[in-house]
Amino acid sequence: MLQKPSIKNYKIKNYFDVIADREWAKCRRCNKWLKYQGTSSSLIYHITRVHNIALKKERPEIECNSSEELLEADWNITDVDSTSFEAETSLSCHNTKHVGTKSQIPQTVKVINEALYKMIAQDMLPLNFTEKSGFKHFLNIALPGYNAPGRKAITGHIEKLYIVAAASLANILKTADMFALTTDAWTSTAVISYITITTHFIDDNWELRSYVLETFDHPQRHTSENLRKSVEDCVSRWNMDGKVIATVHDNARNVTASVKDSHRLGESVPCFAHTLQLAVNSALEYAKCIIQRATKIVSHFRHSALETSALLKKQKEFELPEHKLEQCCITRWNSTFKMLKRLAEQRRAVCAVLSDSTSSGSSSLHLTAVEWDTITDLLVVLEAFDVTTTLMSSASRVTLSMVRPIIYRLKENFLKRKPTDSVLIKNFKETAVRELQDRFLNKTSTANSNPHARY
């Protein structure tokens, strides 16, 4: 059995007035009442953390039969004020033994801190995560006596983790003789421009390896010269000069020119998924009116809490999936397909809400039966492009050899005109075939004579 220590085991009775029968103790310094419960852990915590008084503990070794008993004896804080959880440099560790326990409490602050730094880096948590009141309160309950490092300390240690990881990656890159790069410029929600560069290579075991080399801010204008210099500087920093055989990028003119004008970035290779999306967008021009009307319907629901609530009720009534409508975005691949697919799924609920709606302009949002049928026909073709994009965006296998076969498959299986097709669908298919032929197949017609052909 665990023998709970009494207040006599510690030199703290000079700081508290104890009422034994009620198991309460009153601090003589701040007159605060604390629950005593037969153990002095909460009293020790109060006097050392709130009043910053160092106490030397004189305590015999305690035998614990379970981790629960250990927690009850050593970590029982019954009255903790989270605002008084002050900084300290080390974690108090009692002289305890674990008997038959599956988990053990960390014995040093260093072990906990290292795990905390790695968690923040791996899960990409905010650097001030440990300064949040909720997290502090959690620590007070789960790990009393431990003070988590603040933002400055975390920043310094994460930088050290980066140095170690970068050195490890540099050693890995030394084993490869040729690399391909993927580069993309993007803008954060804080309207800061960034460039991300990823490298790909095949190791000695013939396995595809991919690593993000850098993500850095790029405040300069996105001219081809500035972009080229930024990517080339990254190549130099990782000692990859003379080893880059190709750089994959989007179809923006400045990005394309930056790679083509460089002698250090290898062959210019337009991104397959981005090129495919350009072909789809050209064909979707024939469905522009229907897409615009579908977009207005989605916006109507997304900007009205009343209509969204009504949609949820109709979904339950018709036993439809309780999904929110999705809005298309020009910078998101296949977002038009996802918007139309969700709209078609919720057709009954959407039509019912619009029919019952009393809001102004809702009557003009109705799609005709012909327009709904056109959306259904479009989804058959667009789904094939969506599957193709997902398949070709794999980061775990080489997909270059699949380009020509998959383009032919799209043309033969999904883009052949049918007698039952509407005029809109026929125009869509004709345009898509022409775009695919021009963007992919015609550019690779000289592949046999050019070993560095793009696809």
Residue 407 has phi, psi (to 5 degrees) of -65, -45
Q: In 3D, which of 377, 437, 442, 389 has the Cα closest to residue 411? A: 437
The whole-number pLDDT of residue 292 equals 93
The whole-number pLDDT of residue 32 equals 77
CA 179 to each of CA 173, 212, 213, 264: distance values in angstroms, whole numbers, following the listed order? 9, 13, 12, 11
Q: Taking the model in full, what pTM does it have?
A: 0.68
The DSSP symbol for 440 reads I
The whole-number pLDDT of residue 60 equals 41
Per-residue pLDDT of the chain (455 residues; tens, 9 = 90+): 333 334 444 456 677 777 655 567 778 877 777 766 656 777 777 777 677 676 654 444 433 333 333 333 333 333 333 333 333 333 443 333 333 333 444 457 888 899 999 999 999 999 999 999 999 999 888 888 888 999 999 999 999 999 999 999 999 999 999 999 999 988 888 889 999 999 999 998 888 999 999 999 999 999 999 999 999 999 999 999 999 999 999 999 999 999 999 999 999 999 999 999 999 999 999 999 999 999 999 999 999 899 999 999 999 999 999 999 999 987 788 899 999 999 999 999 999 999 887 766 677 788 999 999 999 999 999 999 999 999 998 878 888 889 999 999 999 999 999 999 999 999 999 999 999 999 998 865 444 444 444 44
Local structure of 238: helix, strand or coil: coil
Helix, strand and coil percent figures for the chain, each rounded to 5: 50, 10, 40
User: Crossing angle of helices 151-173/109-122, nearest 10°?
Assistant: 70
